Amino acid sequence: MLSLVLLISILFSIVSGAPCDIYASGGTPCACAHSTIRALLDRYDGNLYQVTRASDRTTRNIGLLAAGGHANSTEQDVFCAGTTCTITIIYDQAGNGNDLHVGTPGGANSRGNTAANAHAEQVTIKGTKVYSVFITPGQGYFHDGSRSGISTGTEPEGIYMVTSGTHVNSGCCFDYGNAEVNRRDNGAAHMNAIYFGTSCWFGGCTGTGPWVQADLENGLFPGGSNKWNTNQRAFNERFVTAMEKNMGANRFALKGGNAQSGGLTTLYDGTLPPGYSPMKKEGGIILGTGGDDSSSSAGTFYEGAMTKGFPSDATDNAVQQNIVAAGYGM
């Protein structure tokens, strides 16, 4: 009886809390966590993001309605009334200082990026109005890896994001994840990021997407090779959960699901593509661009995190349950 009680207690500890609480309970704590929508830790009571007003270039941090709750979108509306605002910083809720700023120039883009329109898309979370990071080509965010916690080299890592299956294109590359710190293409295995869009990098794809793939540099991989993975499927849902996790030396996995209902589909779980083991991750963070600042992508970002360690399937499933329970809507 004692062992059964203990088992129930362990299972409950994994499924309770916000995504980063769940990851920590599973032994793979968040190294960074970003969202303009909600807190990703139950205890978080800080700022989610910063907006900059076009009329006078002043800034305002947008926080939460309550600790562990949803973004205070009214604060943004009042501050931006009569002008336009852009999202200039997305704060790291994990406490490691891995904040995302408007992207600097890179090897594929000498101009750098512009900031997303702070009012481009509004959605709801349990009926509360909030704003997404609605990225169009040329926009994107970056962190140079100068803070702590992001996996490097062969260190294992997990990544998830909530995105949209209705605002996508085939441009390179709508990514969220680990990338080069110098914004250059430093070769195969220097990246470990989720890609979501309609790009069919190696050809031979079935259907038109959008698909959850891995950007490992010099290729968007639907599975463990440059051949099309027949287990892949498109995610056209309004809200999509995308996951990628990488052991760093011998294994990676891709998962996707409807962020409003149901569970996750395992799209791939197996060996890394030839030439990508061992990984050479650098610890930079990108959102909305490729590792070399390839900036022709479109996509939507609601929330996401990167972990220290390779999350278990039980942890992945619990995070998905939390996302569904969060109540994304229009």
Closest CA to 177 of 131, 124, 122, 221: 221
Q: Report the alpha-carbon distance of residue 239 to residue 161 in Å, rounded.
A: 10
Closest CA to 326 of 58, 49, 35: 35
Which of the residues are catalytic? 217, 292
b vs e for 248-273, b when ≥16 Cβ sit within 10 Å of the residue's Cβ? beebbbbbbbbbbeeebbebbeebbb
Contacts of 7 (CB under 8 A, 6+ apart): none
Helix/strand/coil for 149: coil
Residue 174 CA from chain centroid, whole number: 10
User: Is the Cβ–Cβ distance between 288 and 172 less than 8 Å?
Assistant: no
User: Is the Cβ–Cβ distance between 198 and 165 less than 8 Å?
Assistant: no
Task: Note if the bond before 210 is cis, omega within 30 degrees.
Answer: yes
Closest CA to 235 of 214, 264, 215, 200: 264
Whether the CA torsion 71, 69, 168, 253 is positive or negative: it is positive
Helices 2-15/313-326 angle, 10° precision: 50
